[in-house]
């Protein structure tokens, strides 16, 4: 029985716990150092086509400058921001020279808003559109550290410096496993520009946006910079092996890898008695692939005996395909099992059946994202298990009884109404 004293004590304890949680905790010696600040580099096309006056009655360059100034005012204090240009300096017709025309206008670091705005104000539409070299330069500007890194590319046209394919450059950047995302924005883009910018974004896990107005440009750039300051979980790079014996051992977490077309890769996970292994994998088609493909995630013992598998097939309608599996390892049955190994090594095999047309480069491989989680497995003897499935049965029984009682009551009321009607 709950007395008033016990209730009051419980409430006081709850309030005390909340107060402790809200109070700032002092730093403890030995705590890890604060994470480094996220980095963003705005990469702006300053080629001759930016002179066109078709965005809200002003030139594309003027719209970009206006958007930049407003974004710079709102950059979070913990974001290190830089600015790179392409096509801003060389006015000649020499392709070799024009395709090297990219430079860092403002270095990546703590933002001096006045200095950055002054640098942007000096820009005038000039030359070529070397997107590939600009991406390489921006990636170099952002190197170092383990914080979120993002390139925001703004252009009104496709790259003019073939054969260096900017989409392939983006794939090469992604294949390095440095978790650098490229978001692209196209100013009044044509079909070729849309395709190229979409490819660049998809290769690095970024986004593509078509922009028609100054406000759209400002809002989208601001959103991307703000997203860098509040990142989602970043996958850890890993490299699967050709066989389980050589595979890396993964803890619970999110991992990224690259897998060749129609390749098998192996990873290992240590599962303790009473734990449940939950794993999922996603493979992205970051380039043109043939229809009909699939992905397999298979768990087996170190001796090759299959434990469980998950598989999924696609038909070309999606560019990401995923599968998952669950493996609950039973707890030790008794103290007599104490001499048995405490953990079991589970081999995870990731396979894909992608293929591509002969004209498509297959190197680097396809991006793979692998999630591994280890949780306490279900215990049939525990109250938790009883109030899981058991609770569901009780709900079902309660609903049946309620329905039966309601039916009997309604039948009695109906018979009573008929009797009263006949009496009158």
pLDDT in the model for residue 384:
37
Greater confidence (286 vs 141) lies with 141
The percentage of residues in the chain with a pLDDT greater than 70, rounded to a whole number, is: 83
Q: Where in the chain is the domain with CATH 2.60.120.380?
A: 236-376
pLDDT tens digits for 167-215? 999 999 998 878 899 999 999 999 999 999 999 998 898 889 999 999 9
Q: Is the confidence at residue 97, as pLDDT, over 90? A: yes
The mean per-residue pLDDT over the stretch 395-412 comes to 75
The mean per-residue pLDDT over the stretch 111-130 comes to 95
**How does residue 82 score in pLDDT terms, banded at 50, 70 and 90?**
very high
Q: Is the confidence at residue 14, as pLDDT, over 50? A: no
Which one of 1.10.10.10, 3.40.50.410, 2.40.50.140, 3.40.190.10 gives the CATH number of domain 39-229?
3.40.50.410
**How does residue 104 score in pLDDT terms, banded at 50, 70 and 90?**
very high
**How does residue 418 score in pLDDT terms, banded at 50, 70 and 90?**
low
Least confident of 175-189, 205-219, 240-254, 397-411: 397-411
**How does residue 36 score in pLDDT terms, banded at 50, 70 and 90?**
confident
Query: DSSP string spanning 354-373?
Result: ----TTS---S-EEEEEEEE
Separation CA 72–CA 90 (nearest Å): 26
The mean per-residue pLDDT over the stretch 73-77 comes to 93
Long-range contacts, stretch 313-318, CB < 8 angstroms, 24+ apart: 315/291, 316/289, 316/290, 316/291, 316/292
Which one of 1.20.140.10, 2.60.120.380, 3.40.50.10190, 3.30.750.200 gives the CATH number of domain 236-376?
2.60.120.380
Q: Is the confidence at residue 220, as pLDDT, over 80? A: yes
Backbone angles phi, psi at 268, to 5 degrees: -120, 145
Greater confidence (247 vs 314) lies with 247
pLDDT in the model for residue 378:
60
The mean per-residue pLDDT over the stretch 285-308 comes to 93
The mean per-residue pLDDT over the stretch 24-48 comes to 72
pLDDT in the model for residue 383:
39
Q: Is the confidence at residue 83, as pLDDT, over 90? A: yes
**How does residue 401 score in pLDDT terms, banded at 50, 70 and 90?**
confident
End-to-end Cα spacing for the chain: 53
Q: Which two tokens stand for residue 76?
A: 């979070």
Q: Is the confidence at residue 403, as pLDDT, over 70? A: yes
pLDDT tens digits for 355-376? 999 988 898 999 999 999 998 8
- In the block, residue with structure tokens 């820009």: 123
Q: Is the confidence at residue 29, as pLDDT, over 80? A: no
Separation CA 121–CA 321 (nearest Å): 45
The mean per-residue pLDDT over the stretch 261-285 comes to 94
- Give Cα separations from 168 to 115, 163, 197, 300, 322 (angstroms): 34, 10, 12, 36, 24
Least confident of 26-35, 156-165, 395-404: 26-35
Separation CA 393–CA 387 (nearest Å): 9
**How does residue 81 score in pLDDT terms, banded at 50, 70 and 90?**
very high
Q: Mean pLDDT of all residues in the chain?
A: 84
**How does residue 163 score in pLDDT terms, banded at 50, 70 and 90?**
confident
Least confident of 162-171, 286-295, 332-341: 332-341
Cα–Cα nearest to 91, from 124, 126, 123: 126
Q: Where in the chain is the domain with CATH 3.40.50.410?
A: 39-229
Q: Is the confidence at residue 158, as pLDDT, over 70? A: yes
The mean per-residue pLDDT over the stretch 373-383 comes to 64
Greater confidence (220 vs 147) lies with 220
pLDDT in the model for residue 17:
40
Q: Is the confidence at residue 105, as pLDDT, over 90? A: yes
Separation CA 265–CA 294 (nearest Å): 15
**How does residue 319 score in pLDDT terms, banded at 50, 70 and 90?**
confident
């Amino acid at each position: 029985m709950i007395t008033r004293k016990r209730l009051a004590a419980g409430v006081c304890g709850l309030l005390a716990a909340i107060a402790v949680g809200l109070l700032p905790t002092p730093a403890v010696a030995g705590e890890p150092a604060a994470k480094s600040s996220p980095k963003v580099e705005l990469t702006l096309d300053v080629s001759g086509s930016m002179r066109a006056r078709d965005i809200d009655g002003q030139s594309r360059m003027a719209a970009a400058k206006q958007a930049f100034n407003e974004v710079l005012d709102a950059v979070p204090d913990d974001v290190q921001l830089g600015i790179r240009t392409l096509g801003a300096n060389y006015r000649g017709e020499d392709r070799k020279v024009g395709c090297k025309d990219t430079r860092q206008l403002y270095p990546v670091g703590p933002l001096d808003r006045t200095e950055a705005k002054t640098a942007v104000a000096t820009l005038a539409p000039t030359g070529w559109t070397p997107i590939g070299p600009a991406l390489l330069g921006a990636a170099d500007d952002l190197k170092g550290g383990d914080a979120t890194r993002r390139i925001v590319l703004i252009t009104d046209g496709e790259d003019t410096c073939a054969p260096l394919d900017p989409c392939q450059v983006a794939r090469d950047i992604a294949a390095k496993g440095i978790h650098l995302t490229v978001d692209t924005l196209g100013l009044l883009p044509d079909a070729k520009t849309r395709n190229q910018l979409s490819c660049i974004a998809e290769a690095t896990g970024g986004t593509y946006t078509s922009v028609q107005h100054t406000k759209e440009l400002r809002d989208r750039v601001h959103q991307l910079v703000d997203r860098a300051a509040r990142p989602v979980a970043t996958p850890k790079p890993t490299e699967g092996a050709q066989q389980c014996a050589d595979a890396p051992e993964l803890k619970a977490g999110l991992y990224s890898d690259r897998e060749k077309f129609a390749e098998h890769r192996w990873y290992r996970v240590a599962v303790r008695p009473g734990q449940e292994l939950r794993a999922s994998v996603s493979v992205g088609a970051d380039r043109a692939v043939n229809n009909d493909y699939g992905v397999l995630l298979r768990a087996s013992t170190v001796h090759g005996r299959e434990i469980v598998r998950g598989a999924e097939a696609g038909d070309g309608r999606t560019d990401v395909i995923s599968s998952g599996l669950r493996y609950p390892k039973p707890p030790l049955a008794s103290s007599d099992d104490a001499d048995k190994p405490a953990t079991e090594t589970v081999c995870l095999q990731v396979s894909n059946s992608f293929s591509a047309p002969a004209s498509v480069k297959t190197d680097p491989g396809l991006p793979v994202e692998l999630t591994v989680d280890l949780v306490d497995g279900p215990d049939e003897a525990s109250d938790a298990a009883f109030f899981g499935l058991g609770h569901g049965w009780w709900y079902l029984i309660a609903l049946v009884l309620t329905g039966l009682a309601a039916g009997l009551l309604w039948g009695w009321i109906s018979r009573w109404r008929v009797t009263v009607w006949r009496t009158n």
